[in-house]
C-alpha cells in the first residue's frame, strides 16, 4: 500500500514489510493459508519418504523371488530373440558334439549380411577345421576381399552354436571349443604407452600362452605393425608353434598378406592354404568373396588404392616403382631404382641384387654373351669347361 493510502488500511491488517514509498501487509487469513501450505509441503515429503520406506521393506522381503523372475525373463527374452532371428533368416540347427572337427557349409556373417546395400547379396563360404589334416588355415587375398569377415563369421558361428542358437549356414557340425581367441584389427593403447605392434604382440602372447587343443584361434594380419621381415618371421614362427606344440595345437584360421606363409603347406602336414578369390578386369579387380583352396600370390594393393580414390598420377607412379622393386633394381647408390621411360636420359645401367657370388655372376654374364647357333660342338665344350672353372 502506498504511503498516501496508509490511512485506509483496515486495522486487522498486519504490517509485514516497509518499502521506500509503500508498505506491505498480510491478513490473518493469508497467514493461516501460508502456514498450511508450508506445513503441507513438509508433510508431503515426510509421507512420500514413509511410503518409499514401506515399499522398500516389502521388496526386500521378496528380493530372491524378484531376482529369479528377472533371470527367467531374461532367458525367455534371449531365447525368443534367437528363435525369432532364426525363423526370419532361415538359420540352420547346428550339431554340437565333443569332437575336434568344425564343419560349416554355406556360412555367412549374421551382421554383415544385414548391413549390405539393397540388392547386394552376401557370398556364403564353407569352412573345415580339425586336428588331423586341416588344423591351420592360411588365408590369403587382397585387402577388402573379405578375409577378416571370413574369420569373424567362423568364430561367430561356433559361438552361436555353443550358446544354443541356430546359425547362419546350410549345415554346421561344431566340435565344442573351450575358448575362442581372436587377434583381429589394429589397436593401440595410448594411455599405457603401447604401440599398435606391442598391443598386437601382447594379445598374441596371451593366445599362445593360454590356448589348448580344444581352442579356436582367429589371427588376422599378425606382424603387420613392424618391418616386413620381422613381421613375416613372427607370423611364420607363431603358426609353426601352434602346429608343432602339443599343448597348444589349436584349430586356427590365419589371414595374412605374407604370401611366403603359403609355403608352410609343403612343410607342415596340418597347414592348408585358402584364398579369397578375385577376378582381374583390366587394371581393376573384382572381389568375388569366395574362399577356395590354394594360396594367392598377389595383394592388389595398388588396385585397391585406385578404388579408394587415390589420384591417378600417384597410382601410375606406384605401378612403376612396384615393377622395379619386384625386379630388385637398384641405383649405383643401392637405393630402389626409380622407374623411368626407355628414352629417358636418366636411365643408366640397371643394377640388380645378385643372388650369386661374384664369380657366379661373371659366369652368368659370359653365358649371356654366347650365341649357341655360332658355336661348333668343340667350341661349345670348351666354353662349358671355362664356365665350370669360373664358378668353382
- Distance, in Å, from the CA atom of 39 to the CA atom of 44, rounded to the nearest integer, reads 8
Q: Which residue's entry shows cell 667350341?
A: 379
Mean pLDDT of the chain: 85
- Distance, in Å, from the CA atom of 264 to the CA atom of 274, rounded to the nearest integer, reads 12
Lowest mean pLDDT among 218-232, 264-278, 328-342: 328-342
DSSP state of 92: B
- Nine-digit cell string for 149: 569377415
| Domain range summary for the chain, segments of one domain joined by + | 3-61, 92-307, 312-352, 358-390
Q: Collapse the DSSP code of 337 into the 3-class scheme (helix H, G, I; strand E, B; otherwise coil) and give the result.
A: coil
Helix/strand/coil (H/E/C) assignment for every residue in 180-237: EEEECCCCCEHHHCECHHHHHHHHHHHHHHHCCCCCEEEEECCCCCCCHHHHHHHHHH
Average pLDDT estimate for 169-188: 89
CATH 1.10.1420.10 fits 3-61, yes or no: yes
- Distance, in Å, from the CA atom of 389 to the CA atom of 78, rounded to the nearest integer, reads 80
Closest among 280, 294, 231, 277 to 258, alpha carbons compared: 231
Q: Is-contact 246 126, C-beta < 8 A?
A: no
- Distance, in Å, from the CA atom of 254 to the CA atom of 147, rounded to the nearest integer, reads 9
Domains 3-61 and 92-307 share a fold: no
Q: Are strands 351-352 and 180-183 parallel, antiparallel or unpaired?
A: unpaired
Residue 14, beta-bridge partner list: 26
pLDDT tens for each residue of 57-99: 999 999 999 999 999 999 999 999 999 999 999 999 999 999 9
Residue 63 φ/ψ, nearest 5 degrees: -55, -50
- Nine-digit cell string for 326: 619386384
pLDDT tens for each residue of 6-17: 888 888 888 888
Given the candidates 2.30.110.10, 3.40.50.620, 3.40.605.10, 3.40.50.300, the CATH classification of the domain at 92-307 is 3.40.50.300
Q: Which residue's entry shows cell 602346429?
A: 243
Q: Is-contact 76 146, C-beta < 8 A?
A: no
- Distance, in Å, from the CA atom of 25 to the CA atom of 240, rounded to the nearest integer, reads 96
pLDDT tens for each residue of 235-278: 999 999 999 999 999 999 999 989 899 999 999 999 999 999 98
CA 42 to chain CA centroid, nearest Å = 59
Closest among 255, 173, 172, 182 to 216, alpha carbons compared: 182
What stretch of H or E contains 66? helix 63-89
Amino acid at each position: 500500500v502506498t504511503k498516501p493510502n496508509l490511512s485506509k488500511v483496515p486495522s486487522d491488517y498486519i504490517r509485514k514489510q516497509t518499502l521506500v514509498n509503500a508498505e506491505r501487509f498480510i491478513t490473518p487469513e493469508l497467514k493461516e493459508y501460508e502456514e498450511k501450505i508450508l506445513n503441507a509441503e513438509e508433510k508431503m515429503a515426510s509421507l512420500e519418504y514413509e511410503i518409499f520406506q514401506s515399499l522398500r521393506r516389502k521388496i526386500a522381503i521378496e528380493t530372491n523371488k524378484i531376482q529369479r523372475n528377472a533371470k527367467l525373463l531374461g532367458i525367455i527374452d534371449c531365447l525368443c530373440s534367437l528363435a525369432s532371428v532364426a525363423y526370419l533368416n532361415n538359420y540352420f540347427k547346428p550339431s554340437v558334439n565333443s569332437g575336434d572337427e568344425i564343419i560349416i557349409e554355406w556360412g555367412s556373417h549374421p551382421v554383415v549380411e544385414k548391413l549390405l546395400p539393397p540388392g547386394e547379396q552376401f557370398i556364403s563360404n564353407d569352412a573345415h577345421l580339425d586336428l588331423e589334416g586341416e588344423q591351420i588355415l592360411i588365408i590369403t587375398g587382397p585387402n577388402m576381399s573379405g578375409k577378416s569377415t571370413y574369420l569373424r563369421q567362423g568364430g561367430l558361428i561356433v559361438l552361436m552354436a555353443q550358446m544354443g542358437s541356430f546359425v547362419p549356414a546350410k549345415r554346421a557340425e561344431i566340435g565344442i571349443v573351450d575358448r575362442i581367441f581372436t587377434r583381429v584389427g589394429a589397436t593401440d593403447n595410448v594411455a599405457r604407452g603401447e604401440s599398435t605392434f606391442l598391443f598386437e604382440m601382447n594379445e598374441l602372447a596371451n593366445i599362445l600362452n593360454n590356448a589348448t587343443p580344444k581352442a579356436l584361434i582367429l589371427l588376422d594380419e599378425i606382424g603387420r605393425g613392424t618391418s616386413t621381415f620381422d613381421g613375416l618371421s613372427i607370423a611364420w614362427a607363431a603358426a609353426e608353434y601352434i602346429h608343432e606344440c602339443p599343448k597348444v595345437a589349436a584349430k586356427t584360421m590365419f589371414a595374412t598378406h605374407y604370401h611366403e606363409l603359403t609355403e608352410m603347406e609343403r612343410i607342415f602336414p596340418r597347414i592348408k592354404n585358402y584364398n579369397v578369390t578375385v577376378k582381374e578386369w583390366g587394371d581393376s579387380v573384382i572381389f568375388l568373396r569366395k574362399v577356395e583352396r590354394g594360396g594367392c600370390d598377389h595383394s592388389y594393393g595398388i588396385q585397391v588404392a585406385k578404388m579408394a580414390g587415390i589420384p591417378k598420377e600417384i597410382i601410375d607412379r606406384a605401378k612403376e616403382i612396384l615393377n622395379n622393386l619386384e625386379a630388385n633394381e637398384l641405383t649405383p647408390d643401392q637405393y630402389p631404382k626409380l622407374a623411368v621411360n626407355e628414352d629417358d636420359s636418366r636411365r643408366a645401367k640397371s643394377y640388380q641384387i645378385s643372388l650369386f657370388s661374384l664369380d657366379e655372376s661373371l659366369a652368368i654374364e659370359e653365358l649371356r654373351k654366347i650365341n649357341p647357333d655360332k658355336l661348333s660342338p668343340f667350341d661349345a665344350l670348351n666354353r662349358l669347361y671355362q664356365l665350370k672353372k669360373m664358378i668353382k
